[in-house]
Amino acid sequence: MLYHRDVACRLLLVSTSIGAALIASASFAQTTAAPAASSANDAIVVTARRLNEARASVQPALGATSYGVDNATIQALPGGDNQQLNDIVLQLPGVVQDGFGQFHVRDDHNGLQYRINGTILPEGLAVFGQTLSPRLIDRFALLTGALPAQYGLRTAGIIDVTTKSGFKNAGDVSLYGGSHGTIEPSVEYGGSTGATNYFLSGSYRHDDVGIESVDGSTHPLHDRTDQAQAFAYVDHILDDDDRVSFVGGYSNQYFQIPNPRGLQPDGGYSVNDQTDFLSDDLDERQLERTGFGQLALLHKAGDLTLQTAVFARYSALVYRPDITGELLFDGQAQRATKRDFSTGLQVDGAYRLGDAHTLRFGILASRDRAFSRTDSYVFPVDAGGAQSGAPYAIFDQDGETEWTTSAYLQDEWKLARALTFNYGLRFDRYSGYRTEHQFSPRANLVWLPLPRTTVHLGYARYFSPPPFELVASADLAQLRGTSALASGADLTNTTPYAERQNYFDAGIEQKIARGLTLGVDGYYRRSKNLIDEGQFGAPIILTPFNYRKGIIKGIEFEGNYAFGPLLAYANFAIAKARGKDIVSSQFSFDPGDLAYIRDHYIYLDHDQRYTGSAGISYGFREGALSGLKLGTDMIYGSGLRTDGAVPNGGKLPQYAQVNLSASYKWAKPGVELRFDVINVGDHIYEIRDGQGIGVGAPEYGPRRGFLFGVSKDL
């Protein structure tokens, strides 16, 4: 179900009950099959349950706003676990859809941090791809608002994933596909042997609409994708107080860049006397690879719980241009390669001092090494900007290492039975392209004035370095006298700064009746050096930049109903995000836009005033229809920004997309069939129109698709 949590104990109870149900189910299956081993299995199950509870107690939500999804809800949504993770996150309050598979939480651009079983997953370079597959998820929560001190660096939203694990000695194999050339085989299997539990999954996806269409057509030109993903989880109980676990994954994703139809170059360029080039024939491609792993040790000793983890992530992105075509259309073509390798150590702990106080503390240290190379093919130009010779190549490469260190200490103080005050202090420092640091106080108050009412109020000081893997220095002097440098362009290219925020959040949650919960949450944020990102040039690589000042504010409404076989939810959010004075990466912008923004607040390009989502599903449990599930979900957006009379001064038209789902499972043979319809009304809508600050190309939402799936239990 979709759920909303504000209190630490509620988070712990939810995670404990779900984990206990899974473990108890597995225990029953194992002890029924092998009665002689029941006592050993029971001991392992009890130990695993206690260690799960201990891990959950280290990093509770503690006053933050938390929206969550469990595996049962994922399966009930159209597409089930065949869809990408970002499509599921779009069903949560305040999450805005964007192109390239991106989404924005509370009108922030990309300040997201992913955690798996409590350990940070380092950032990667993926633009289109989704490294994490829903197949690995038992449940996840989106944490936002005024976060406790253990969460830092990326603070717009924390995607906190709890993975599936073994216990069942079972799995399934499935085949899914249909419209737009979609075909997606997958397999997953989990099990246990003695004190060791494991879960494995793998999938492959082919699709003829890998990236959003640039013209809204049902069959976009040159838009195929091939994606492979693999994931593994293993844990081993060492003794009653210790468990070691490993999580690893790999994704290899290939994308064609879709082409506009029927265009010819109009820039006056010539390559070997060729001036014509039909846009239909462009051949641009991008390859993204990501691999990650983390090894964690959980230790529970009396009132002390510690989780220590080491982690690593490798990420690579290669953009392959159509050199002749891009030269004729844009006056330049860029072959771009980026690689990033990150390693780190994370330690989190909790110590219960007594009934009134629980201390939580932790450290994080990471090393990030990035490499970037760009081969730019350009024309020499005269003083008037006209081509004056044959194209040639400029080679530019850059490598840098960044070190990040963080530490926090906080106290959960129970002032009264229904009143909890959580306060703490966090320190963050990074040193790479520049060096900055900050001490950040945090404070949250959670009050239960009535048994079914929860009120929270919080303040957080945030410090968010620019995404290191996307920052690169460039020798702009090489571009003088070439078609890559517009006449009058500003050659200033200040390295991006860390963003510093003051963030205020308040909300209330009310349980109205059995299964029905309503909530409202408001936030206000003021930023210095607000971080945004844009696509500049043909390579689909984002570049970070800063607004000197930023103001983001909004309010979210959410309602959930879950009782028996019925699940329903509805969310609506209002937001407003503005920035003033671009103070980094200035070379990427039009000089006229820079001059206007220097003295005026403008809307951020990803600002969307109204955002909504809703869904309902029903599973029949008795009678002839037992095993049948029916569901629908939808998203609504009032439209992202586009240029108007001033930069980002206009907005795109509003839209709504509705999806349908039906599935039927025969329990005894373990076979399930599903049928999904995406965008039932075949509504054609623009996510982007190619205009706005840092907006690279037009992008349209998906056209109607019919998808079928069959799976068999193993």
pLDDT 10s digits, 179-225: 999 999 999 999 888 889 999 999 999 999 999 999 999 999 999 99
Predicted confidence (pLDDT) per residue in 535-556, tens digit: 887 677 788 999 999 999 999 9
Q: What is the pLDDT of residue 138?
A: 87
Q: What is the pLDDT of residue 409?
A: 97
- Asked if residue 132 has pLDDT above 90, the reply is no
Instruction: Output the six-digit token pair for 704.
Output: 């109607």
CA angle 30, 34, 37 (to 5 degrees): 90
Predicted confidence (pLDDT) per residue in 29-50, tens digit: 333 333 444 556 666 767 777 7
Contact between 627 and 656 under an 8 Å Cβ cutoff? The reply is no
| Out of 82-86, 413-417, 611-615, 662-666, least confident range | 82-86
Tokens 């392209």 label which residue? 433
Q: Provide the CB-side half-sphere exposure for 84 (13 A, CA).
A: 20
Q: Provide the CB-side half-sphere exposure for 365 (13 A, CA).
A: 3
CA dist list (Å): 212 to 99, 178, 554, 697: 7, 18, 28, 10
CA 139/CA 493 separation, integer angstroms: 42
Domains parsed from the chain with CATH numbers: 2-259+272-340+355-363+385-713 (2.40.170.20)
Number of Cβ within 10 Å of residue 673's Cβ equals 14
CA 72/CA 276 separation, integer angstroms: 54
Q: Binning pLDDT at 50, 70 and 90, where does residue 559 land?
A: very high
Which has more pLDDT, 41 or 359? Answer: 359
Tokens 């988070």 label which residue? 11
- Asked if residue 11 has pLDDT above 70, the reply is no
Q: Binning pLDDT at 50, 70 and 90, where does residue 8 land?
A: very low
Nearest partner of 176 among 709, 714, 541, 566, judged by Cα: 709
CA 269/CA 632 separation, integer angstroms: 51
Q: What is the pLDDT of residue 392?
A: 93
Phi, psi values for residue 516, rounded to 5°: -110, 125
pTM: 0.88
Strands 628-637 and 641-642 turn out to be: unpaired
Instruction: Output the six-digit token pair for 17.
Output: 């009950």
Percent helix / strand / coil, the chain, rounded to 5: 15, 55, 30
CA 199/CA 116 separation, integer angstroms: 14
Q: Provide the CB-side half-sphere exposure for 128 (13 A, CA).
A: 27
